[in-house]
Chains A and B, each alone.
Chain A
């Protein structure tokens, strides 16, 4: 259920670089809407029910909270709706900006959850292990840290449970004590694990000159096509942004670039770029169906 993951790492990386950078910098409401929709759709496609629950249980409240907080601190804008108790004005522009910034944050978080599901650490090491060995090792270890920590925590907690140190049930004080002992075990484990990983990589000659490394990735026709599509769409959108085709400002008055066929084409290109993995997924499913029906 994850065809895009089987593509060459450079294709995955190019896609996520474009999409995450664009999500961060494009403040046009249409672009934000596209980004939010696609990130939600793709994360649900990748992680299923878990992602859907996370998105609607945590991301949506966070979106609302961030949108509400902005007008409390930002009072710029020409259309005054009313006055806050402090005496500063409440403006339409600050509310609009708050909503947009909140949508941006949520969609970027969502894109990163997709990134983690697709770009595994071996892919990252494959891409950057040669260029910056120590940096890529540290980065991949850092990115792996939280999920690995969670997993180990579960193991340790279960082991502690077996010897009667339960973190559920008993009195508050006892639970806190057991929790602290688990935490101390975890910290020790994390430090030791990091040192061990580094040592083991070093003993294998990681990052030495002239050393080759095995990889299972080949850049075939499929990757070539995807890469061309991603870079063409990405460059078209980026050029459009620099040419002012996606201009939108919130302060002091809300003003958008005129909606012309050109800007609509930019929106479509951006949408196509964001939807690319989902399109690939759908096409793959259709392909599989047709092959199956032939048998």
Chain B
């Protein structure tokens, strides 16, 4: 016992340090609102079935959409020609300035499943796409409720009402994704936006808007997007916009369950 006393003591010391780090670092399950997430899960599972389609539906819908896209191509071209004749020159300029700097492929240019490659002509067509509108807003009002979790140096960045980009109609071009629109509008309004291209998911990940980053307000925080009340379960650059869509970018402090988007993560648990 005397011989190994030091070793046992050292082991205990290491264990206690690890335990302290675990609790103090906030990974403990009872901290950081994980409990709330579980209770609201029940509500979400109940409601999730109604608005959010199961993943299979989405993929099949997307596929059919793409089929439509490809099958409608000649028609689109005709349309494009028409709009090219009608559209004023200014739209063309705006398009080439705003869109071409984006390296990300538009969702239609690179399908999620590589079954149906879109013809090359589609890309040329983009410059003559029709102007459509949707509404966009960026909000972080969940932080106001959890301001004590927020990193102290970021407090000055939070608007008083939590609205970074008030809801307004914005222009997008046919075939563009939620991500394209967000990127263009943030650039236009000089709001900071950092994203990362994720080749694994063929998608972009929004890390921070207005310098409010993921993990800045607790370990379960980050940006999520909602279109017409639903939280899509895939990246924003793969969500193809339809005219009149209502796009909201929301900051969550609790893995989505504080903004009603907890269901997006439930595929893992079920």
Interface residues of A (CB under 8 A from B): 75-78, 80, 83, 85-89, 91, 249, 251-253, 255
Contact = CB atoms under 8 A, between A and B. Distances in A.
Interface string B100-119: 01111000000000000000
Contact of A87 (B156, B183, B211): B183
Given A76-B194, A252-B211, A87 B157 contact: no
B49 interface: no
Interface string B199-226: 0000000001001010000000000000
Given A78-B157, A251-B153, A252-B211, A87 B192 contact: no
B187 interface: yes
B120 to A, nearest CB: 22
Contacts of A91: 192
B227 interface: no
Contact residues of B: prevailing secondary structure: mixed
Question: Most chain-B Cβ atoms within 10 A of its Cβ — which of A76, A83, A87, A255?
Answer: A87
A78 B211 contact: yes
Contacts of B187: 83
B87 interface: no
Nearest to B186: A89
B68 interface: no
8 contacts: A75-B194, A80-B192, A87-B103, A88-B195, A89-B193, A91-B192, A251-B153, A251-B211
A91 B190 CA distance: 12
A90 B255 CA distance: 29
B76 to A, nearest CB: 26
Contacts of A86: 103, 197
A75 B192 CA distance: 9
Interface of B: 101-104, 153-154, 156-157, 183, 187, 190, 192-195, 197, 208, 211, 213
B101 A83 contact: yes
Contacts of B104: 87
A87 B101 contact: yes
Nearest to B194: A75
A89 B194 contact: yes
Nearest to A255: B153
Given A77-B192, A251-B153, 5 more contacts: A76-B213, A80-B190, A80-B192, A86-B103, A89-B194
Contacts of B190: 80
A85 B153 contact: no
Contacts of A85: 101, 103
Query: Which 9 residue pairs of A and B lie closest in terms of their CB atoms, listed nearest first?
Result: A252-B211, A75-B194, A87-B102, A249-B153, A78-B211, A88-B194, A86-B103, A89-B192, A87-B183
Contacts of A255: 153
Contacts of B211: 76-78, 251-252
B153 A87 contact: no
A94 to B, nearest CB: 10
A149 B153 CA distance: 49
Contacts of B197: 86
Contacts of A88: 193-195
A260 B97 CA distance: 48
B193 A76 contact: no
Given A77-B211, A83-B101, A85-B101, A252 B154 contact: yes
A144 to B, nearest CB: 30
A86 B103 CA distance: 6
A80 B154 CA distance: 17
Contacts of A83: 101, 187
B153 A76 contact: no
Contacts of B213: 76
